[in-house]
Amino acid sequence: MTQAQLAQKLGVSDKSVSKWERRLRLLPRNT
């Protein structure tokens, strides 16, 4: 699934999706 497809599914813009992805990468993975 591409960012655009995911964005469409969620009803948001693909820019929002890429923002979320950047934020998720910044989160520590130790949980």
pLDDT digits (tens, 9 = 90+) for 1-31: 888 898 899 999 989 989 988 998 888 777 6
The first and second tokens of residue 3, run together, are: 């960012």
Residues in the chain: 31
Strand spans (E) along 1-31: none
Residue 3 placed within a domain? yes
Give residue 13's pLDDT: 92
Quick one: pLDDT at residue 12?
92
For the full predicted model, state whether its pTM sits above 0.85. no
- Domain span including residue 13: 1-25
Q: How far is Cα 12 from Cα 4, in angstroms, rounded to an integer?
A: 9
Give the count of domains, the chain: 1
In a domain, 9, yes or no: yes
Query: Would residue 30 count as lying in a domain?
Result: no
Q: Please state, in angstroms and rounded to a whole number, the distance separating the CA atoms of residues 27 and 1.
A: 22
Q: Are 23 and 16 in contact (CB under 8 A)?
A: no
